[in-house]
Structure 1
Amino acid sequence: MSSQLNGKRILIITSNTGIERDELLNPLEALRGYGATVTHASSKGGLTQTFVGDTEKDQAVESDLQLSDVVSGSFDALVIPGGTVNADTLRQDIAALRLIKDFAQSGKIIAAICHGPWALIDAGVIKGKTLTAYKSVRIDLENAGAADVVDAEVKECMANGWTLITSRTPDDLPTFNEAIAKAVAD
């Protein structure tokens, strides 16, 4: 990996449980490998429980901050991992929704994978966007006003003054991470 993201700061947000392990740890490690400073903030701060799939508990990961303590202006990009419980919890978290809205209104990059776009729906930021997501989330995105929901490994959309990067599943992580790194570097 290179140091193409030196000086760039990326925020990953999660709940404290139900996070798809690879969708948290893989971008965190990959983006750090590109030279970015990556901060993981969770709803309550402290330990976050990751899962493999929706039922198999994996490792607990220490978050760096509590969501309510995050200042969006300190970061260049926001990453929202999936996991059905994680995404469903984030979409009800006032601090998470505030951060998503702040990033969009500031014209920053937001990246979401798998079920992560659910939080974008509740933040009210996907109207007019073209994106991809896990197959069971697609109808929700269409009903919430997405311009189009495509079946692609990664989809980047630069509409409405900010950049949205989305992917479908953990299988798409290498392309997802690369798209984030490229967008942040530009």
Structure 2
Amino acid sequence: MPTDRQHDGQLEENRDGQLDGRNVLVLTTNYGTEQDELRTPVAVLREHGARVTIAAQQDGPVRTLVSDRRPGADVPPDTTLARATADGYDAVIVPGGTLNADRLRTDADARRLVSAFAEAGRPVAAICHGPWLLVDSGLAEGRELTSYPSLRPDLENAGGTWRDREVVVDTAGRHPLITSRRPGDLDAFSAAIVRALTGS
């Protein structure tokens, strides 16, 4: 069963129970993840009652960045990518941050995990530079999606159709695919994940 820790006192605060019984996995490296792209979806999902597990490459803290430059908050992971499985989870989230995403796309365990969610027909969500992992996992082909604008050629070369929208939800493939462009889109991104998990 997925495990979860209480981070920053957010786990039990303002729970509305909408996502009680739902489990979400977040994939990250230990350095360079965009702070808000990690923390905001986690906080939103927990406020709705979901159990969120953060899987990092190593057991140590995730050292986030703000705008790829300034140090952000340290976030403790719950498990590692190597130990994590898709079993028991209802969705997976891939945050951005250029350094994080560039390393995550080459991580065999990260590719294994997003592929497992896709094969099982469960939602895959990625924001900003996070869709690089979709390219390297073969999950962009034939899908409509968005990303940080500089990734557009990569996603189109991988067979995807790129859209300049705050959130793109593609339900035409084997699994729901939710993508957004940047931290400014986090409200729409987080809301789309909640809707995918509630079926609304």
Give the TM-score taking structure 1 as reference length: 0.97
Residue 41, structure 1, aligned to residue 73, structure 2: no
State the partner residue of 2:5: none
Task: Select 1:117's aligned residue among 127, 131, 140.
Answer: 131
Q: Which amino acid aligns with 2:123?
A: I
The CA distance in 2 between the partners of 1:45 and 1:124, in whole Å, is 28
- Aligned CA RMSD, in angstroms, stands at 0.8
State the partner residue of 2:188: 175
Deviations 1:70-100 (A, max 9, x none): 1101200000000000100100101000001
Aligned to 2:38, the other structure's residue is in SS state helix
Q: Which amino acid aligns with 2:172?
A: A
The CA distance in 1 between the partners of 2:46 and 2:188, in whole Å, is 16
Quote the offset at 1:44 in angstroms.
1.3
Aligned to 2:196, the other structure's residue is in SS state helix
Quote the offset at 1:60 in angstroms.
1.3
The CA distance in 2 between the partners of 1:153 and 1:2, in whole Å, is 25
Residue 77, structure 1, aligned to residue 61, structure 2: no
Quote the offset at 1:6 in angstroms.
0.3
The CA distance in 2 between the partners of 1:130 and 1:58, in whole Å, is 31
Give the TM-score taking structure 2 as reference length: 0.91
The CA distance in 1 between the partners of 2:177 and 2:59, in whole Å, is 26
Task: Select 1:152's aligned residue among 159, 165, 176.
Answer: 165
State the partner residue of 1:51: 65
Task: Tell me, yes or no, if the aligned pair for 1:50 and 1:60 is still in contact at 8 Å.
Answer: yes
Task: Provide structure 1 residue ranges, at least 5 long, that are not aligned to the other structure.
Answer: none
Q: Which runs of 4+ in 1 moved over 4 A?
A: none
* Paired residue total: 185
Task: Provide structure 2 residue ranges, at least 5 long, that are not aligned to the other structure.
Answer: 1-14
Identity over aligned pairs, percent: 45
Aligned to 2:87, the other structure's residue is in SS state helix
Task: Tell me, yes or no, if the aligned pair for 1:133 and 1:169 is still in contact at 8 Å.
Answer: yes
The CA distance in 2 between the partners of 1:48 and 1:77, in whole Å, is 21
Deviations 1:94-119 (A, max 9, x none): 10000011010110000000000001
Residue 185, structure 1, aligned to residue 198, structure 2: yes
Aligned to 2:20, the other structure's residue is in SS state coil
The CA distance in 2 between the partners of 1:158 and 1:138, in whole Å, is 20
The CA distance in 1 between the partners of 2:140 and 2:18, in whole Å, is 29
The CA distance in 2 between the partners of 1:76 and 1:123, in whole Å, is 19
The CA distance in 2 between the partners of 1:179 and 1:172, in whole Å, is 11
Paired residues for 1:4-153 under 5 Å? 4-146=18-160, 148-153=161-166
Quote the offset at 1:159 in angstroms.
2.5
